[in-house]
Chain A
């Protein structure tokens, strides 16, 4: 079989048992390929389980920089007897299948290259304790793949060094197994597949990180002072990252902290604590996923109505209900936008990359405090938990905006005359004071019940309506402050595409495919926030047909945009789909072309 070499343009799926330590091996492969300068992405498809269930990890190498999940895979590693039949069948024709040779199941394919690996034999030879043997056995496929595909050994060692934080013993024992396996493969396997990983000379301006770490770091550079959270997949690692980095970045020399992170008893309490802290003048946040957002509904309404700044990160997973807790979706948009009873409107930020998770991490606090309102940031499992190539984090380019706050000296100038809910500046945003302000006129009483401009209780019809109208006006002010969309046009295109969040890479690739294969040009608006800024209105007005691409069933962004711009709604065409997996470029172009060709 002499096939044309396929270099840096294929995907690898590794099938393992969860809890077996394969993540270290998989991320090591991903990082080594990244170090070789090859554009690469890794996606972990894992079960809601601690140990023993099938799990898959997919790595895509693409010399052109397309890093969305793709169809395939061309290369499959079968380490799990339970999913062996499925994994073997999943290999693309002409692909390669590596498997642990202690799995005694029939190889029914003749259209692919097959490589048995003596995983048990090699890992038994490794100089490690029996307890570590299972972990180290995953390094066998790393070594064999390295030999057959051409993955650089130095890069692998760098990846291990990073993973084990420089602990020599761990690096050496893992690398020893990789090296032994590579040598075994060199002596015993004959390469018959066409897939090669080759170093690329691209100057790497990228780093590799996950969105939850980026979000936590962004929050830290945004001056987060209080975070309360409750464990939930896929959001837990966001708060855990705060716990890792805050002590390093935000402790004084005497060891005293400028922050507090508290694991609450539930999501009701997590947001309640954030509201208390935000009310009292701290930059306060919580992080959760869809089920947590449901529980946070009542407090969100209170914070909206009593005008308390908080930041809520929703790392979305598949719902409703417990749903698919370890799979990704963009399906909390509608519920978050309309969260709470009565008339509410929330500011929502939609990061589309790991770097943007960092950026919105700090920006969200500026917006929340400026607008005195909850700001939701909707990430997702794919963005939050997977490792992505991303541009380095950029230090905030503007000073912190603490919003309209009156301290003692301000109140002295005003001779103590002020009103908590009075729109002094015409932007719908009033002034506020914090507990601890010793001016005798500083205090006011905050409530979720009807109040007048002085925060006094009233059931007055006019007071109620005037306040709600002001809040609506404030939301219009938000429209001028939230991040503008990212727009990318192709000259002469009539077609518009709107998407948000983690689908960016797949949409970019789909547009290129449609242009190349069908000559179909498209303009792309990646929405970065709600409410819609004027750029969004302009984009929609300029295009006759607009596909709205999103990872949910009900085309939620289309629903919202239709409500915001009812006169434009006829233009909107859904391209919505969710099966728990990140969207692929192929699916997107099919969804668009099938409607275009009608």
Chain B
């Protein structure tokens, strides 16, 4: 099952500069584990472990077919063959 994952500039150090890579998985969580197997280190940039378990990092946005995964189950969001996944770091900051 191939799922295209668009990688942002800041994470391309993990993908040898590739803008997009293929991955596999029935959920976002499984896809991230698959990415980690081929691009070690990338998972830690996407996921953090809290008391309640692993969570998508607050300032990382992931979209499945243009939908923000936070609205469709976050790490449990379901994936199918041919889905397009985009990873974009938040553009954010502040005065403090």
Do A and B truly interact?
A: no
